[in-house]
Structure 1
Amino acid sequence: MSVQPEITQRDLRSRSREIMDAIQGGQSFTVTRDGQPIGQLVPLRRRRRFVSRREFAAMSRTAPDIALDAFRTDQDATADTYLNDPYAR
């Protein structure tokens, strides 16, 4: 995980366009006041785009095959084998 660059409150005020362009490009910042971190500026997650049934089918045709037995074995090895009901009395 990379360290976010720090910018001062004054930098944010005076370089807001430059900083907003960087955020739009995926950069994150930690905002400081009097040398103390007070917040973070992070880009919003982009909305997923709709994939049509036809496009999904086309992508699926080129997907690698799955060895179902190996997949089930992996699931069984990692999954909790007994239920643990937190509300059981």
Structure 2
Amino acid sequence: MDAVQSGQSFTVTRDGHRVGELTPLRQRQHFIPRDEFAAMPRTAPGPFLDAFRADQDAAEQEPDDPYGRRLPCSNM
């Protein structure tokens, strides 16, 4: 447990077969005072509207099908 606490990970096996992993837990987030949290939007970078619109335009186009298949469509 001391090794895991210091950051080491271990693979757990049974009869030579992997059955799990023993890994350290992620560190907990540090407390952020309310005033700092409230000030974050004021110091954050602004939105990149041109890049956002370009991403939206790209997403609206049909993706390329690497296998050249077409889906059947119903004309009802």
Q: TM-score when scaled to structure 2? A: 0.46
Q: TM-score when scaled to structure 1? A: 0.42
Higher RCO structure (Cα 8 Å, ≥6 apart): 1
* Larger-Rg structure: 2
